[in-house]
Structure 1
Amino acid sequence: MPVSDSDSETQFRDSLRALSHPLRHRDDLDPLIESLAGARIVMLGEASHGTSEFYLWRAAISRRLIEEHGFDFIAVEGDWPDCYRVNRYVKGYPQSGERAETVLRGFDRWPTWMWANWEMVAFAEWLRKHNAGSPGRPVGFYGLDVYSLWESLDAIMQHLRHNDPQSIPAAERVFNCFQPYGRDEQRYARHTAVSKHDCADEVIGLLLQLARRHPPFDSDPEGDFDAEQNAHVMVSAERYYRTMMAGGAGSWNLRDSHMMETLNRLMQHHGPDTRGIVWAHNTHIGDARATDMRHVGMHNIGQLAREEWGSQRVRLVGFGCHRGSVIAGGHWGADMQRMALPPSPEPSWEGTLHAALGDNGMLLLDRVGDRREFSTARGHRAVGVVYDPRRERGNYVPTELARRYDAFVYLDETRALHPLHIEATESATPPDTYPWGF
């Protein structure tokens, strides 16, 4: 008698139950940590930019990788200048700030809640304490993203005024080229699309100038690296905003290629045998070839890292949840809102895992072999910074789970992130149970 679809689905749920590991406490991470311990690069995802538990579990995994296996830095889906201020704070550099909360409030580009949140405050305070008590090289915190065109120029100008006045003319040429656009990326992109005149030569010239010179930075041992990386960001950002006007996959691919190039520079900066951790959305760290992204010519940092470093040295960990609440905006630039996250539909990966487990769990996907059920595409929730729960069914990416990730962390019910930048009528004090076990 042939097996019906319902029988097949029941068997698959039984397989999920048999293969899953429970996840309630930090010690439950043991099987996952063991599977990640030998990697050079571990990428930890998230299914939204506004879910508390994604940040907390990524922090718990990262803490164990740092404490038990000597990982050297964390690189996140954030702007370089803002994240570098966090790097200075967690390493205790001079004039780096007295409290993580103050430093993280400096993230003022929308969506501010991605990094200016209490979950990050707790982790940054732990990392500073860890670095202060460790005899080896301190663990760093850096940004991989490409958006900070003006902020990177400001950071470069500040560095040069204090440390390398001879290079200021190169930075001023860049400043003068961009000045007519009033720090408006869209205006710059529109103008260059029509006039065919851009600032590419100026930003490349600044990068070459900084790459040739390595002056001492008395208050910051990474100062020259920071200045040069800001110049790399400007080169990529200038191209990104021009490419964005053309539409298609070009700007996405440029952004993730920049992330990969930045990750490689961080690996080189930290020396031989360096080991790094990446925090970014699932759409960036989950191998694009296992989704419908491949059909429109899109790649991402997870795919690029596997291709460049090899799948044995790169481990990709996806995250997902069934229901709860989330912080997001109704449109780009909108005020943040705490929104309901509806239950995921049963055919999706999250809905299937809810039906099978009904609780938090982990799947070590590199151990399922060639089992067809794990290589069959199902919808996998992806919530961005812009979200509308009424259009929930449009937020599912067809995904071959075992090809996209090496492991998957499933959380049955989650809570919204706790932003630092909130309405004046709300309490600005830490939320209940802060700092969440750190």
Structure 2
Amino acid sequence: MKQIELKKLFPFFFLFLFSSGLFAQEAEIVTKLNAIIKPINTLAPDSSFDDIDFLSGVLREKKIVALGEATHGTKEIFVYKDRLVRYLVAKLGYRAITFEADFSGLEVIDNYINGKADSAIIGNNYKPLFKWLKDFNKDKIEQDKVHIYGLEIREFSLAIDRILSLNWNISQQDKTILLGIRNIAFEKIDKQSLANFKEVCSRLPVNVYTKMLLQLIDNYQNFIGIKSKIGVRDKFMAENAIALQESIPNTKLVIWAHNGHVAKSALYNKPTMGEYLFKKYGNKYHVMATDINKGYVSVRTLVAKTKSFSSAQPLYLPEVSSDKAYEYYFSQCKFKNFILDVNKATVDNQLRSFFNQQKEMRMIGGTSTPLNKKLAILTNFDTIIYFNETNSL
């Protein structure tokens, strides 16, 4: 009788031992992470950089440092990226900041931070950073000033207004072409009109702006008529970043964009901007991704009745509870918010295997779905900046 009972209990003993082994492995990974992570002591952008100066040895000689964001609507991410930009500018000599944004719109703000305009319309989330850049540039000679750039064309009106405002020697025929295009929505323009726009721009004085404008037009001629834009923007933004990096002597770029754009591999079956840049620059391209566990983010949610999206509103994300996600392990670390050097971590074979696994990671765009993406951190990111709990913008 006792022998039969033991046989019945054997599967439970096996399950217990198996579970214990898993828990021990989790604990070992967390222990090893605890040995290398650095605490985030402050979010304040204007605080001392002493606690992050350990990054200088890694970032000083890069050609491009990409600052990713797990969501477009998280306060802690924006504030900390602000701090990192200031560090890269003030301590490591970075002088070009590029954004996943409209080129002409950013030029208006560039004029503001370089004293060419008294004011500019700036979103509240970026105001502290652009005010700091303006103050930084105030007493600098031109070659030491910071400039900001957008990596896309998102509308024609700003670009055309800018061209006309410079009083370049433009013929009446070219002005007529520009004014005819000015109010066309970007996604509505036809290829012939865009070709006409390019022809006019090719007759403008040659400088960084017109070079970039022509580069953008070349890229976006292929954008028209494509139903799925996933991956298409990435190719063009990468080409524009490369054109910009190569058009300004001795320029090191900072890229401010979503994690999904700066990642080094094809996350959505199309090459990312980061994949193109990684192939071009190798280890001179460095990705600092941000990650979050729980808290509020600002997103647009799907309205079921109308099948449209609402305006941005707070959405609460519960704590990650699955060991199939990286955040499950990060949330058990000794620091609530921390910086992790992935390349340093993967010197350890167990951590290298861990970060090479396809696990879920927070990947939230402007909408409430999807919230996660399965990926391997090792093949996509060099540094992880982790926040355990967040607030929405």
So what's the TM-score if we normalise by structure 1? Answer: 0.75
Q: Match of 2:148, as an amino acid?
A: F
Native 8 Å contact 1:375 1:402 kept in 2: yes
Q: Match of 2:132, as an amino acid?
A: W
Q: Match of 2:342, as an amino acid?
A: L
User: Distance in 2 between the 1:12 and 1:384 partners?
Assistant: 29
User: Distance in 1 between the 2:31 and 2:146 partners?
Assistant: 41
User: Distance in 2 between the 1:72 and 1:315 partners?
Assistant: 16
Alignment equivalent of 1:375, drawn from 351, 356, 364 = 356
SS class of match (1:14): helix
What pairs with 1:260-271 in structure 2 (closer than 5 Å)?
260-271=238-249
Q: Match of 2:98, as an amino acid?
A: A
Native 8 Å contact 1:207 1:228 kept in 2: no
User: Distance in 1 between the 2:85 and 2:99 partners?
Assistant: 12
| Residue equivalent to 2:7 | none
SS class of match (2:223): helix
Indicate how the Cα distance of structure 1 residues 172 and 72 shifts in structure 2: closer, same or farther if over 3 A, else same: same
Please state if 1:122 is matched with 2:100. Answer: no
User: Distance in 1 between the 2:172 and 2:115 partners?
Assistant: 28
Native 8 Å contact 2:104 2:162 kept in 1: no
Native 8 Å contact 1:156 1:171 kept in 2: no
User: Distance in 1 between the 2:139 and 2:165 partners?
Assistant: 34
Alignment equivalent of 2:150, drawn from 138, 143, 149 = 143
What pairs with 1:269-284 in structure 2 (closer than 5 Å)?
269-271=247-249, 273-284=250-261
Please state if 1:300 is matched with 2:264. Answer: no
SS class of match (1:169): helix
| Residue equivalent to 1:71 | 94
SS class of match (2:156): helix
Q: Give the total of aligned pairs.
A: 359
Alignment equivalent of 1:211, drawn from 199, 202, 226 = 202
Please state if 1:385 is matched with 2:366. Answer: yes
Native 8 Å contact 1:345 1:351 kept in 2: yes
Alpha-carbon offset, residue 240 of structure 1: 2.1
| Residue equivalent to 2:164 | 160
| Residue equivalent to 1:310 | 282
SS class of match (2:327): helix
SS class of match (1:325): strand
Alpha-carbon offset, residue 30 of structure 1: 2.0
Q: Match of 1:125, as an amino acid?
A: K
Please state if 1:45 is matched with 2:72. Answer: no
User: Distance in 1 between the 2:245 and 2:210 partners?
Assistant: 17
SS class of match (1:252): coil
Structure 1 residues without counterparts, runs of 5 or longer = 105-115, 189-197, 216-223, 389-393, 418-438
Alpha-carbon offset, residue 162 of structure 1: 4.1
User: Distance in 1 between the 2:175 and 2:271 partners?
Assistant: 32
User: Distance in 1 between the 2:176 and 2:215 partners?
Assistant: 16
Alpha-carbon offset, residue 338 of structure 1: 2.3
User: Distance in 1 between the 2:25 and 2:328 partners?
Assistant: 16
Please state if 1:343 is matched with 2:315. Answer: no
| Residue equivalent to 1:112 | none
**Alignment RMSD (CA, Å):** 2.5
SS class of match (1:76): strand
Native 8 Å contact 2:204 2:210 kept in 1: no
Indicate how the Cα distance of structure 1 residues 401 and 53 shifts in structure 2: closer, same or farther if over 3 A, else same: same
Q: Percent identity?
A: 20
Please state if 1:359 is matched with 2:331. Answer: no
| Residue equivalent to 1:330 | 301
Native 8 Å contact 1:174 1:199 kept in 2: no
Alignment equivalent of 1:103, drawn from 121, 130, 147 = 121
Indicate how the Cα distance of structure 1 residues 67 and 184 shifts in structure 2: closer, same or farther if over 3 A, else same: closer
| Residue equivalent to 2:391 | 415
Please state if 1:319 is matched with 2:290. Answer: yes
So what's the TM-score if we normalise by structure 2? Answer: 0.83
Please state if 1:225 is matched with 2:242. Answer: no
User: Distance in 2 between the 1:168 and 1:317 partners?
Assistant: 48
Indicate how the Cα distance of structure 1 residues 327 and 8 shifts in structure 2: closer, same or farther if over 3 A, else same: same
User: Distance in 1 between the 2:197 and 2:224 partners?
Assistant: 18
User: Distance in 1 between the 2:121 and 2:73 partners?
Assistant: 20
Deviations 1:258-297 (CA, angstroms, capped at 9, x unpaired) = 11121122212321x21110010000011124x4x3xx2x
| Residue equivalent to 1:14 | 31
SS class of match (1:103): coil
Native 8 Å contact 1:288 1:404 kept in 2: yes
Indicate how the Cα distance of structure 1 residues 39 and 268 shifts in structure 2: closer, same or farther if over 3 A, else same: same
Alpha-carbon offset, residue 358 of structure 1: 5.0
What pairs with 1:163-242 in structure 2 (closer than 5 Å)?
163-167=167-171, 169-170=173-174, 172-173=176-177, 176=180, 183-184=184-185, 188=188, 199-214=190-205, 224-242=207-225
User: Distance in 1 between the 2:162 and 2:148 partners?
Assistant: 21
Deviations 1:14-64 (CA, angstroms, capped at 9, x unpaired) = 111112111113432122333111111100101000111111111111111
SS class of match (2:230): helix
Please state if 1:401 is matched with 2:382. Answer: no
User: Distance in 1 between the 2:377 and 2:172 partners?
Assistant: 50
Deviations 1:102-161 (CA, angstroms, capped at 9, x unpaired) = 521xxxxxxxxxxx22x3100000000001133343101111134x1333xx42254236
Native 8 Å contact 1:203 1:235 kept in 2: no
User: Distance in 2 between the 1:258 and 1:138 partners?
Assistant: 26
